[in-house]
Structure 1
């Protein structure tokens, strides 16, 4: 993880610094169930735990996790959160399932300003589209890695911005880091 990810806090009198981590669910299985009810595949269960360890490595102490209600996202979160040193408040949000970019931005705008570190566990194409939309700037090799891998299952992007959640819009953030299980 880059130094930008692990450095936290704000200088006195500066605007509030915030981070958003966008985590795509791990690899799902394809049994004869509705898309919403698809569980993780064995590879996905392994990916979810590894993603949790990598999230722990970022040093980010999440204040809130927003998780899609789909089975594969809930299972990803259940396995990943066990790897974190601190369990954040978790809200299971129906609107994350099959959300458009506009719907995802609207959800971010609803985040309470007491939250500085937000984790969103969702689906593609939404997680990749949101990371691309928010990243007005980037640090290091993160954008090249994200472009190369295309935001596969179990991947996450870390974005930083300053200001209120109500001000989150296209280009407001900096892509600080990106990780994928098979990167």
Structure 2
């Protein structure tokens, strides 16, 4: 695979979580979160992006979100459960993405706010159509995702290097 081909990153925030008496890391999805995760999976499938790699936080709510969303995709990518995504800053997430092997063209990262939203804002040096306006207007609610493209190797990914090509969030 050539690094000259645009790479795609989807930043996917976990779906709505419940608040039972467990640690934050172990919080499961709420009923609405389970529904929204499946809908987000169908929206991702409609985009016709084939993911080579999924990087998912080890938190229960992100693992559950990914399990429900990936079920809707026509192709299941290799999934790596990465504890560094939990509570990661945008800079830490960029460092993680910089470690990605260049044979992975399209990646989905399933994580948490504020890191995921911050990363989308930092990476998007430009935007197609009204994608930035929609993202800024809605924020990054549970189960939302942003699609970004960039040219070059994963090691070259840095702030403002990508184009925000799409944004989706479930209806309130």
Task: Note whether the superposition's TM-score is higher than 0.5.
Answer: yes
Q: In the TM superposition, what whole-angstrom CA distance separates every residue of 1:48-68 from its partner, at most 9, and x where no partner exists?
A: 000000000110000000000
Moved over 6 A (4+): none
TM-score by length of 2: 0.98
Secondary structure of the 2:66 match is: helix
Partner residue of 2:102? 113
Partner residue of 1:141? 130
Structure 1 residue 120: Cα displacement: 0.2
Partner residue of 1:28? 17
Aligned residues: 172
Q: Which runs of 5+ in 2 are unaligned?
A: none
Q: In the TM superposition, what whole-angstrom CA distance separates every residue of 1:136-179 from its partner, at most 9, and x where no partner exists?
A: 01001110110011010000000000000000000000000000
Q: Which runs of 5+ in 1 are unaligned?
A: 1-9
Instruction: Check the 8 A contact 1:134/1:172 in 2, yes or no.
Output: yes
Instruction: Check the 8 A contact 2:16/2:30 in 1, yes or no.
Output: yes
Asked if 1:80 is matched to 2:69, the reply is yes
Q: In the TM superposition, what whole-angstrom CA distance separates every residue of 1:61-90 from its partner, at most 9, and x where no partner exists?
A: 000000000000000000000000000000
Partner residue of 1:124? 113
CA RMSD of aligned residues (A): 1.3
Asked if 1:155 is matched to 2:144, the reply is yes
Partner residue of 2:155? 166
Secondary structure of the 2:140 match is: coil
TM-score by length of 1: 0.92
